[in-house]
Amino acid sequence: MNNIIEAIQKRSSTRGYTAEPLTDAELNTLIQSGLQAPTAANRQEIHFTVLKGDNSLLKELEDEKNRLREIVNPPHNFYYEAPTVVIISADSTYKWGSLDAGIAVENMALAAEGLGLGNLIIGCIDDAIKGEKQEYFSNALHFPENYEYKIAIAFGHKAVTKEPHTYSEEVQVTRL
């Protein structure tokens, strides 16, 4: 089967990783897959902050998320101890920023699947990163000026596997 179709059909969210880090070649391929994504008017405005899983900023984001949600003993952190996390930001004033970020993150997710790596798209830090500590996190994560968090994605080797989600074409598709 065509590699791209296969990656689309086999991709699923990974919520458990081994400690094995990504190779430089794997990480470069993932970043390039984000950069290669189409953007409206080819503006290429999306920004990618690449973090190792032990970066203290991830712990700070986790703590802030849990504080806001009043979670005391979380069973796992928001990126499931993945060795690499990429935080995607875009111009908060640009109407296509969210869509461009979404397209970029899915390009990266499919590239990870193609490399045999697990990935998890992450939205749950939205409140934490845009809350009262927004300026701090934006600076610490080196977001360009006027940029805001849009989405994040974790990468690593799968310690657990999950079947792709099912769906209902009847509900979601109208063929006229």
Ligand X SMILES: Cc1cc2nc3c(=O)[nH]c(=O)nc-3n(C[C@H](O)[C@H](O)[C@H](O)COP(=O)(O)O)c2cc1C
Query: Based on CB atoms, which residue is closest to ligand X, 27 or 122?
Result: 122
In angstroms, what is the minimal distance from the CB of 68 to ligand X? 14
C-alpha span between 78 and 123 (Å, rounded): 9
Residue 13 in contact with ligand X, rule: CB under 6 A: yes
- Quick one: 12 or 55, whose CB is closer to ligand X? 12
Rounded alpha-carbon distances, angstroms, from residue 30 to 111, 113, 127 = 6, 10, 26
Q: Smallest distance from the beta carbon of 1 to ligand X, in angstroms? A: 18
User: How near is the Cβ of 119 to ligand X at its closest, in Å?
Assistant: 9
Measured distance CA(29)–CA(25) in Å, rounded: 6
Q: Is residue 12 involved in binding ligand X (CB under 6 A)?
A: yes
Q: Which helix (H) or strand (E) holds 79?
A: none
Kindly report each contact of residues 135-143 with a partner whose C-beta sits within 8 Å and lies 24 or more positions away, as own/partner. 137/57, 137/60, 137/61, 138/89, 140/57, 141/49, 141/57, 141/87, 141/89, 142/49, 143/47, 143/49, 143/89
Please list every residue from 90 through 119 that binds ligand X, using CB under 6 A: none
Given candidates 9, 67, 71, 123, which one binds ligand X under the rule CB under 6 A? Answer: 123
Residue 164 binds to ligand X (criterion: CB under 6 A)? yes
122 binds ligand X (CB under 6 A): yes
Least distance to ligand X from the beta carbon of 54, Å? 20
Binding site for ligand X (CB under 6 A): 12-13, 15, 120-124, 151, 162, 164-165
